[in-house]
Amino acid sequence: MSGAEIERQGGCACAQVGFRVRGEPLRIGICHCLTCRKVSGSAFNLFAVFPADRVTIEGEMGAWSSTSDGPRRFCPACGSQLFHQGKPGDPEIEIKVGAFHAPNLFAPTYEAFAPRRETWLGDLRLKRYPGNRTGPGPRE
């Protein structure tokens, strides 16, 4: 089976919202920015980015945005944070790795907003960006 044929599933904690993705992610990252820390309720957000046309979402979702980069989607029943897709028509969708039904699917390759990372996290041996991945280059 080729990477394009692989299908993985996930959803929220109460099963009101579900999703399927086909193929491999474009990239997998960790974000330490303040917004990601707060919405995840953790020290960082772990996400996998897929082409939007390879993702199917079922169920009604809520949305909110704290910035101009587009809404973050969640289940209005259980509150599970699930997706972030920039502005309408954005060709990529960011899915929280914890929302997939199986563990150990994806390993991150970079960290964004690395100056905000917790010191106890240790060296994960990933590229570290001082801001967003699309901003200034990584610090090795």
Report the CATH number that the domain containing residue 56 is assigned in CATH: 3.90.1590.10
Instruction: Confirm whether 134 is domain-assigned.
Output: no
- Is residue 30 left, alpha or beta, with left meaning phi > 0 and alpha meaning psi from -120 to 50? beta
Instruction: Confirm whether 91 is domain-assigned.
Output: yes
The residue with tokens 């901003």 is 135
Instruction: Confirm whether 136 is domain-assigned.
Output: no
pTM above 0.85, yes or no: yes
pLDDT at 3: 53
Domain residues for the domain of 35 are 3-128
Q: Which of 126, 98, 93 is nearest to 112 (CA)?
A: 126
Per-residue pLDDT of the chain (140 residues; tens, 9 = 90+): 455 589 999 999 999 999 999 999 999 999 999 988 988 899 999 999 999 999 999 999 999 887 667 789 999 999 999 998 877 788 999 999 999 999 999 999 999 999 999 999 999 999 999 998 875 555 44
Instruction: Confirm whether 119 is domain-assigned.
Output: yes
How many CB atoms lie under 10 A from the CB of residue 79? 11
* Total number of domains constituting the chain: 1
Instruction: Confirm whether 64 is domain-assigned.
Output: yes
pLDDT at 140: 43
Q: Which of 128, 131, 136 is nearest to 69 (CA)?
A: 131
Instruction: Confirm whether 114 is domain-assigned.
Output: yes
